[in-house]
């Protein structure tokens, strides 16, 4: 951990936010320091100084994206007013996932998830596993304790997560909200 990570400067935070906005627009997969620095009003040298390396910057961006993801999950949990049940929680989660306003974050999530699988020792290390745990925890909130704490309860959550993740990938690839939403609703109705 670099000194700037333990005691971040205001400039580091400012550049992290600007870089994060850039990544939400442009993606993370082919991130290059020179175009990024030019876009956010900095230089590659300053970015390397503040983040230690390109990998350090990527780790900081992933942590920033995860902060947004966890905040969204917490808002969903806090706002739950509908009926309890795994299908109800999954339906609310799908509404959030399919909202056009979240496409940038979700595209970065997909990029990071796949890179975490391809390069498990790189800056994406542990990202996929951590997000699976986050989503399973949210889905568990819709299950009664007597189901939640069983192998069958975990299997139900895992199936719902697989359906949501698959529909999300399809939605991001095609933009077809109606078709993917209908598929998710069909699955959730069959669960009830």
pLDDT digit string (tens) for 69-97? 888 877 777 776 655 789 988 998 999 99
The confidence score (pLDDT) of residue 169 equals: 97
Indicate the pLDDT class of residue 3, thresholds 50, 70 and 90.
very low
* Mean pLDDT score across all residues of the chain: 89
- Is a pLDDT exceeding 60 seen at residue 191? yes
Q: Which of 27-33's residues contact partners 24+ apart within 8 Å by CB, and which partners?
A: 27/107, 27/108, 27/111, 28/58, 28/61, 28/108, 28/111, 28/112, 28/115, 29/111, 29/115, 31/57, 31/58, 33/57
Contact 67, 117 (CB under 8 A): no
pLDDT digits (tens, 9 = 90+) for 119-154: 888 888 899 999 899 889 889 988 998 999 999 999
**Is the CB of residue 138 less than 8 Å from the CB of residue 77?**
yes
What domains lie within the chain, and their CATH numbers?
Answer: 3-191 (1.10.357.10)
Distance, in Å, from the CA atom of 171 to the CA atom of 166, rounded to the nearest integer, reads 9
* Tokens coding 48: 């390397």
Alpha carbons 160 and 187: distance in angstroms, whole number: 8
pLDDT classification of 33: cutoffs 50, 70, 90: very high
168 pLDDT exceeds 80?
yes
């Amino acid at each position: 951990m670099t000194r700037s990570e333990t005691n971040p400067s205001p400039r580091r935070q400012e550049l992290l936010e600007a870089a994060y906005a850039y990544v939400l627009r442009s993606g993370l997969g082919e991130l290059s320091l020179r175009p990024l620095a030019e876009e956010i009003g900095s230089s590659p040298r300053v970015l390397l100084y503040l983040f230690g390396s390109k990998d350090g910057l990527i780790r900081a961006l992933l942590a920033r994206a995860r902060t947004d993801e966890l905040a969204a999950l917490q808002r969903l949990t806090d706002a739950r007013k509908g009926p309890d049940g795994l299908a109800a929680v999954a339906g609310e989660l799908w509404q959030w996932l399919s909202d056009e306003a979240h496409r940038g974050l979700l595209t970065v999530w997909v990029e990071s998830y796949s890179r975490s699988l391809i390069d498990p020792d790189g800056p994406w290390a542990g990202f996929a596993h951590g997000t699976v745990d986050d989503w399973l925890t949210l889905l568990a909130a819709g299950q009664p304790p007597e189901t939640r704490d069983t192998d069958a309860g975990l299997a139900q959550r895992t199936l719902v997560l697989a359906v949501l993740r698959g529909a999300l990938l399809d939605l991001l690839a095609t933009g077809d909200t109606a078709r993917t939403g209908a598929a998710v609703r069909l699955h959730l109705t069959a669960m009830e």
